[in-house]
Structure 1
Amino acid sequence: MVIRKQSVMLPDGTAVPSLGQGTWFLGERRNRRKEELDSLRAGISAGMTLLDTAEMYGDGKAEELLGEAIQDFDRSSLFLVSKVYPHNAGRKNIFKSCIKTLERLNTDYLDLYLLHWRGSIPLSETVECMEQLKKEGKIRRWGVSNFDTADMKELWSVPGGNNCQINQVLYHVASRGIEYDLIPWLEEHKVPVMAYCPLAQAGDLKRGLYENPALIRIADAHQCTVSNILLAFAIRSKNVVAIPRTGNKDHALDNAKAWEVNLTQDELIEINRAFPAPVKKMYLDIV
């Protein structure tokens, strides 16, 4: 399947696909392993070569699954992302954590290493450690996750903090709070968003999402699925990478088709009516 792939530019000039694959909850059920491996491999073959995981996911089981899934692919064609626990994000543990992640992924380096969320370790210490990992060649670049606007401003005040390449946050059509001030701040500083749960966990995070009449009408107009519309909406700004997670091959291939959906202005207006953009500051949505 050949699909026109849209890219997002990182601050260091690296282009990454605007649709990737998440791995939360994958690798935890042995009877689903083959199906999940097939799903990840199908997604990679369809162009979703940005692959996100974390040491937290299944206590490393998702990283192990992903490490197995990528073995038959050219490593240089993949963009591997993992995340470190906040309590491991300091001098005492981060270097060991990173090595364990690399071992589970069976690779020599990460393309991107993220601080999973803020903890008690000072940002200055985490940034210093991330820069050291870059010097050692274990990671190519680093970023953050679940950072709100105030967190990003604090990060920028730390020496080297402006080397952050991305902020991974929850974002979907029914959770648009980041559009009020976080996305504008990130765009001003040329930092993309990586959107987790862009399908609202198949609608579990928003009751009735997949039955919404506006989304169904727009999907019918494009002869595609509601999932395609949700993903096309998430990446419409060209500054967002969406990382839907699935362990189903057919769903993975369907997710990639979102690249072929170009929402019209009238359709965006209709979506805005159904799911209004924020008009005030909202707390960062996290799951």
Structure 2
Amino acid sequence: MSLFTLALVAVIQGITEFLPVSSSGHLVLIPQMTGRADQGLVIDVSVHLGTLLAVILYFWRDVRGALLGLPRLAKGRADTKGARLALLLIVATIPAVLFGLALKLTGLDAAMRSVALIGWTMLIFGLVLYWADQTGGVDKQARDWSLRDAAIMGAWQALALIPGTSRSGITITAARHLGYAREDGAKLAMLMSIPVILASGVLLGAEVALAADAEAARNGALAAAMAFVAALAALSLMMRLLKSVSFTPYVIYRVVLGVVLLVIAYS
């Protein structure tokens, strides 16, 4: 695989993973819209690893707290901030893991990689994000996250396994609908991405290990590094902008891209 293709996949994944515009949808579109060969599972997993490291670094204080809280949670005690966060993240992850396994076992995951589907999900869930962002309250903060809200956001997050939906977009939509302020909703969505990306990596890890050779490993490491840099930059920029800017610019991008893709798919 050429360096240009690796950089293209890595940068697109890095930028779109945490913006509410669907990274998986863009990755599916790269080979279909450019005529290049599909980047393959090794590269897909590698760039997701890069973005995982980026979000862990950005929210390291919260991640560290959750990790330190795991031993207490294992004893059935969620009486510290870290243990409670770990519990809430586990609850929020369960729906996506179950839905992902169902798609994998039925083979539906491979059947959903179409331009038409991505166009519709880009458009529809973009409009849903706009609705939630304009009508949602701003009275809740990240520290108010409850078991009920974690379960609801987790159920919405499961929909992100449909290409074009956007994992960050759908969880931010759920958070805004539940009344979380923009920056706090985005923070929860980013923290929720960590166990989901990790679970996805574990699920696909065996396939990658069997398929990878020395060249694939080198390409994967390079792609992961580039995705890490792009994701960290995009995440930092978005979190700063949310202090003064709504999600409308992302909605406009989604709607325009969705319409273009539908025109291409049905023409």
Give the structure-1-normalised TM-score: 0.26
Give the structure-2-normalised TM-score: 0.27
Structure number having the greater helix percentage: 2
**Structure with more relative contact order (C-alpha pairs < 8 Å, separation 6 or more):** 2
Structure number having the greater strand percentage: 1
